[in-house]
Amino acid sequence: MQDHGRINALKQYLLLIRLPNVFTAPSNILAGYFAAVPLVQANGFHLVSLMVSSGLLYVAGIALNDYFDMETDRRERPGRPLPSGRVPRAHALAIAIAAIAAANATIALTVNSLASLAISVALTGAIVAYDYSLKRGPAAAFAMGATRFLNVILGASPAITTVIVVASSAAAFGQERLLAAAVFAAAMQFAYVVAIMMLSKKEATVSGSSSSNGSSRNEGPSVYAAFLIIAGVVVSIAAVGLFLLQFKPEFLVNLAIFAGVMAAIFFFFVNDRRLAGSGSPSRVSHAVKNMVLSIVVLDSVFVAGSAGLEYGLATLLFAVPAFLLAKRLYVT
């Protein structure tokens, strides 16, 4: 009985930090790092440090999200760890503070890059600002997209120091071109997350309206707009990757995988009669969950284009534990 109680207690903390989602943070780092750092110059120790720090910042952001949403969750999601009392609210704050401190200290002590530390601090500020207030305003989608943008740039940050150091040399121009690829990857991640947030807003609207009128008639345009953004992301990556950034052509394999996953999500989403007829929040949540976890697939496109197909396919391995854990732990 004691062992069962410990396991259940552990599960509540894993639910609090949305463990499946955590695997999407290091893949952002891989996308930014390999876009900006030539493979022959890659430093495995620095890369792992950035990935660990990114994961810790994600944990902090999720814990703070639930900490600040405590009263809302009491009304709308009373079974979750904090409103149910299974995890003390003070523990969520302690987890967030400890994760933020560990993430920034790890970068300061191991990566040897002032640019990396500066971006880590900026990302920390963006996460706290989003959780504390921005998520309730009209710019919520853009604020969330900005955190993912900064996370990809965090992966590329060691190259920023290189550009500053060799700013007057010919090598700087080549490095700047690589940084442009990282910024493009970050911009595409920003657009994708904005699309996810549009659907996530629909999830909240459907949840609120289903109890009162059993339908949600005005949400259709936001669904199509979200997937139109994603279609634009796919086309932009193909065009810019091939003709401007000169990605390795193998990236088209990972891009095809991403496009196929998005097409499948869209197909099942718009053809689900239960969603159209009853505004079922569970169907919206299912689509949002799959799109969040597919951030890994999008990141793999840029890794394949910069480092090669084998690295891109290896990046997809982050999706395996994410999707498996999502069967037992909620994502949204």
- Residue 133 CA, distance from chain mean position: 19
In tens, the pLDDT along 35-71 reads 999 998 999 999 999 999 999 999 999 999 999 999 9
pLDDT band at 216 (very low <50, low <70, confident <90, very high): very low
Q: What is the dihedral of CA 46, 48, 51, 57, to 10 degrees?
A: -80
| pLDDT value for 4 | 66
Are 11 and 280 in contact by the 8 Å Cβ rule? The answer is: no
Q: Is 87 left (phi over 0), alpha (psi -120 to 50) or beta?
A: beta
CA distance from start to end of the chain: 30
Portion of the chain with pLDDT greater than 70, in percent: 86
- Residues 6+ positions from 163 with CB-CB distance below 8 Å: 172, 175, 176, 179
Are 153 and 183 in contact by the 8 Å Cβ rule? The answer is: yes
CB atoms within 10 A of CB 214: 10
d(CA 127, CA 143): 9
In tens, the pLDDT along 154-190 reads 999 999 877 666 555 555 555 677 889 999 999 999 9
pLDDT band at 302 (very low <50, low <70, confident <90, very high): very high
Burial classification of residue 267, based on how many CB atoms lie within 10 Å of its CB (0-12 exposed, 13-18 middle, 19 or more buried): exposed
φ and ψ at 216, to 5 degrees?
-145, 95
Q: Which two tokens stand for residue 33?
A: 């790092």
Average the pLDDT over each of 78-87, 129-138, 265-274, 306-315 and give the range with the smallest value.
265-274
Mean pLDDT of all residues belonging to the chain: 89
